Amino acid sequence: MYTIKRAAELTGIGLPTLRAWERRYGVVSPVRSEGRYRLYSDGDLRALRIMASLVDDGWTASEAAAETLRRLDGVDPAMLPPGGTVGEGTVDGPARVGGPAGGFVDGVEPDGLQEVMEAAADLDASRLGVVLDRAFADENYPRMVGGWLMPVLLSVGSAWADGRITTAGEHLVSHAVHRRLAALYDATPKATAGPLVVLGLPPGSRHELGLLAFSVGARRAGMRTAYLGADLPTAEWVGAVSRRHAGAAVLSVPRLADAVAAQAVVDAVRQQAPGVVMAVGGGHQGQVAGALLLGHDLAAGVKALGASLPRTRSARA
Ligand code: B12
């Protein structure tokens, strides 16, 4: 059993939200300790992750609560074992992703999604590698990222939240994707002139795949980039931007929980280095004020960033 603090750490959901979802929507009913403290079970955590994932994907809280209970399908969350599955427990890909309207581009399931899900469930690294290598061979990089990679990652997240794949299965996929994006980044010729663009995540934020994919696109467009990765403390952002005389700093805000830290970075850099273009991407970029919003599309975001730089670079095909 987990205390409310530990449940918040494990699910990424804030304490007031945890209490509100229990009180208003009844998605969990944690038992109480002798001292009347809430105690969450593994099943409660699973219900909370499903709810969080749906809300993150744009569902209203009440819709998300109804869907969470539907997915748990009468199974008492408290009875589910850690890593146990919900419903039939088959790995058949998500029925829908990204909210009530569905999240796939044009409603079409990405090619090979089923294989990714099965490979993740079986922890089959070779099979996963074959599917990823096939997808990464697409010469149209923005299409591969927006039309294939991001929908696949969202599906992996939903399957993990539903208990259809384990944390190990999710890590297998996200690390394999990370290695391929990092290899592409390193293989892209580096620009030697033009303003430097520093890219990274706010402190506490570890979801870097969207930003790394964007960094590859920025480098391919001829921008001079320095990718600093996940969980960068605010003082380090200020130091890096000032020391390297950066022209722009790009942060991703993948979760609502990352918005406060991202705002602190934007404010601190703007105060210390007012001439630097501050830009944000990721699902919750709209929660950050005083920065250029790069949107959700990689190619459009790269273009918008290029246009905002003091001196733009021409795109390489
Ligand atoms: C892989 C993954 C991880 C990996 C990340 C590895 C890595 N190196 O990045 C690891 C294991 C570290 C991880 C950890 C956690 N994760 Co996680 N993770 C994911 C997963 C499956 C994919 C994340 C991803 O890459 N998304 C990228 C794309 C797919 O999504 P996006 O950020 O919304 O971005 C969109 C656009 O904005 C654009 N974009 C993205 N970045 C940028 C940048 C720019 C500049 C531009 C222009 C565009 C752009 O592309 C996307 C397409 O629209 C998601 C599922 C999901 N729904 O995203 C869960 C998910 C984000 N994780 C979740 C959780 C709960 C966690 C943990 C709290 C779990 C835990 N107990 O430890 C921790 C928190 C870590 C932290 N402090 O940040 C939840 C978040 C729920 C919530 N509402 O907050 C999710 C949604 C899973 C779920 N369905 O419940 N995770």
Domain ranges of the chain: 1-87, 89-187, 189-308
Helix (H, G, I), strand (E, B) or coil at 87: coil
Which protein residue's CA is at the shortest distance from atom 73 of ligand 1? 12
Question: What's the average model confidence in pLDDT over 65-85?
Answer: 54
Whether ligand 1 lies within 6 angstroms of the CB of 209 is answered as yes
Residue 256 CA: which ligand 1 atom is closest?
84
Q: Percent of the chain beyond pLDDT 70?
A: 87
Whether ligand 1 lies within 6 angstroms of the CB of 166 is answered as no
User: 189-308: which CATH number, 3.90.1010.10, 3.40.50.280, 3.40.50.10680, 3.30.390.50?
Assistant: 3.40.50.280
Whether ligand 1 lies within 6 angstroms of the CB of 150 is answered as yes
Q: Which residue has the higher pLDDT, 218 or 52?
A: 218
Q: How confident is the model at residue 65, as a pLDDT?
A: 84
CATH 1.10.1660.10 fits 1-87, yes or no: yes
Which protein residue's CA is at the shortest distance from atom 6 of ligand 1? 207
- Separation of CA 198 and ligand 1 centre (Å): 20
pLDDT, tens only, 264-313 = 999 999 999 999 999 999 988 999 999 999 998 999 999 999 999 976 44
Q: How confident is the model at residue 50, as a pLDDT?
A: 86
Q: What pLDDT band is residue 162 in, cutting at 50, 70 and 90?
A: confident
Residue 207 CA: which ligand 1 atom is closest?
9
Q: How confident is the model at residue 106, as a pLDDT?
A: 65
pTM beyond 0.85: no
Whether ligand 1 lies within 6 angstroms of the CB of 220 is answered as no
Question: What CATH topology corresponds to 89-187?
Answer: 1.10.1240
Whether ligand 1 lies within 6 angstroms of the CB of 255 is answered as yes
Question: What's the average model confidence in pLDDT over 91-114?
Answer: 53
Whether ligand 1 lies within 6 angstroms of the CB of 210 is answered as yes
- Separation of CA 274 and ligand 1 centre (Å): 30
Look at residue 135 and tell me whether its pLDDT is greater than 90: yes
Q: How confident is the model at residue 75, as a pLDDT?
A: 44
Q: How confident is the model at residue 310, as a pLDDT?
A: 78
Which protein residue's CA is at the shortest distance from atom 58 of ligand 1? 154
Look at residue 88 and tell me whether its pLDDT is greater than 70: no
Whether ligand 1 lies within 6 angstroms of the CB of 265 is answered as no
pLDDT, tens only, 184-195 = 999 999 999 999
Q: How confident is the model at residue 169, as a pLDDT?
A: 97
For the chain, give the mean pLDDT. Answer: 85
Residue 156 CA: which ligand 1 atom is closest?
21
Q: What pLDDT band is residue 47 in, cutting at 50, 70 and 90?
A: confident
Q: How confident is the model at residue 187, as a pLDDT?
A: 97
Q: How confident is the model at residue 62, as a pLDDT?
A: 83
Look at residue 15 and tell me whether its pLDDT is greater than 70: yes
Q: How confident is the model at residue 102, as a pLDDT?
A: 38
